Amino acid sequence: MLTIALSKGRILKQTLPLLKKAGLEISDTELNSRKLILNTNFDTVKVIIIRASDVPIFVQHGAADMGIAGKDVLLEHGGSGLFELLDLGIAKCRLMVAASDKAKLKQNTLKIATKYIHSTQCYFAAKGTQIEVIKLYGAMELAPKVGLAHCIVDLVDTGNTLKANGLIAFEKIEDISSRLVVNSSAFKTKDTQIKAWIENIKKSL
Ligand code: PRT
Ligand code: MG
């Protein structure tokens, strides 16, 4: 049996067509059911649909053999216990530093609102910039407006969200897309099955 963990939300919308092209289908009845473990058109493959940030945790601990998650989430997780094997090229965006104007980024201690603590710390440590990170779970764009932070680190796609909130993206930390990850033990014990699916998915990209 192979269990695949999928990120719900925007990644899922782009994942399902990709898996379908690779030959793996989940019926609407399954998708619309309240079940947490879903059947697929293969008796040997089950799917779980969970929060994006939980995907690497399920895969790391072997609760899922494979998973699909954003690079942003994988960077925060750190990658222990799993291999990142494929860039699926879906749910693309950029992890950026944004502020109302460039001068705001010149502080002795730069206050940054973000949910991407690890990526933020790595990026500014490499630049030698002293920072204070304020962990938020959403609505990062609000923080500079209300004086909670000098700038934010967040995902940017079209840039419309930043624009609507009077913010400009000044620095790119990372290009983001969704990746296929595999539990490191499963990669050995279920290698035939896993490699076959990786090949199918690769061909459908
Ligand atoms: O919402 P919830 O907290 O439950 O979970 P989630 O936010 O993790 O899920 P979801 O469905 O929002 O998907 C998040 C994943 O999608 C991320 O981990 C990325 O890998 C990927 N992704 C791709 C994005 C974006 N593009 C994106 N634009 N995730 C979020 N955004 C947000 C961004 O945070 C900002 O608020 O969209 C807004 C910016 O978009 P533009 O187009 O206005 O620039
Ligand atoms: Mg979201």
Query: 9 and 105 in one domain?
Result: no
Q: For tokens 């950026």, what's the residue?
A: 96
Q: How confident is the model at residue 161 (pLDDT cuts 50, 70, 90)?
A: very high
Query: 186 and 165 in one domain?
Result: no
Query: 191 and 125 in one domain?
Result: no
Query: 144 and 98 in one domain?
Result: yes
Query: Residue 7: in which H helix or E strand, if any?
Result: strand 2-7
How far away, in angstroms, is 11 Cα from ligand 1 center? Answer: 9
Query: 87 and 102 in one domain?
Result: no
How far away, in angstroms, is 22 Cα from ligand 1 center? Answer: 25
How far away, in angstroms, is 180 Cα from ligand 1 center? Answer: 18
Summarised one tens digit per residue, pLDDT across range 70-102 is 999 999 999 999 999 999 999 999 999 999 999
Residue 123 burial (CB < 10 Å; 0-12/13-18/19+)?
A: buried
Q: CA of 88: how far to CAs of 84, 151, 178, 189, 204, in Å? A: 11, 30, 6, 24, 10
Instruction: Compute the distance between CA of residue 87 and CA of residue 198 in angstroms, rounded to an integer.
Output: 11
Q: Residue 121 belongs to a domain with what CATH number?
A: 3.40.190.10
Ligand nearest to the CA of 56: 1
Widest CA span of the chain, in angstroms?
A: 58
pLDDT at 45: 98
Query: 142 and 105 in one domain?
Result: yes
Average pLDDT over residues 166-190: 98
pLDDT at 65: 98
Ligand nearest to the CA of 7: 1
- Residue 9 CB neighbour total at 10 angstroms: 12
Query: 102 and 87 in one domain?
Result: no
User: Which ligand 1 atom sits nearest the alpha carbon of residue 164?
Assistant: 43
How far away, in angstroms, is 33 Cα from ligand 2 center? Answer: 22
Query: 60 and 102 in one domain?
Result: no
Instruction: Enumerate the β-bridge partners of residue 95.
Output: 155, 174
Ligand nearest to the CA of 12: 1
pLDDT at 4: 98
How far away, in angstroms, is 91 Cα from ligand 1 center? Answer: 8
Query: 41 and 116 in one domain?
Result: no
Query: 185 and 165 in one domain?
Result: no
pLDDT at 1: 97
List pocket residues of ligand 1, CB cut-off 6 Å: 9-11, 51-53, 70, 72-73, 91, 93, 154-161, 176
Range of the domain at 41: 2-91+177-204
Q: Provide CB contacts within 8 A for 125, sequence distance 6+.
A: none
The tally of domains found in the chain comes to: 2
pLDDT at 189: 98
Instruction: Compute the distance between CA of residue 142 and CA of residue 27 in angstroms, rounded to an integer.
Output: 39
pTM over cut 0.85: yes
Query: 99 and 58 in one domain?
Result: no
Classify strands 66-70 and 178-183 as parallel, antiparallel or unpaired.
antiparallel
Instruction: Enumerate the β-bridge partners of residue 47.
Output: 4, 38
Instruction: Compute the distance between CA of residue 133 and CA of residue 118 in angstroms, rounded to an integer.
Output: 10
User: Which ligand 1 atom sits nearest the alpha carbon of residue 177?
Assistant: 20
Q: Angle at Cα 89 formed by Cα 84 and Cα 92, nearest 5°?
A: 105
Nearest CA to ligand 1 atom 34: 155
Query: 55 and 20 in one domain?
Result: yes
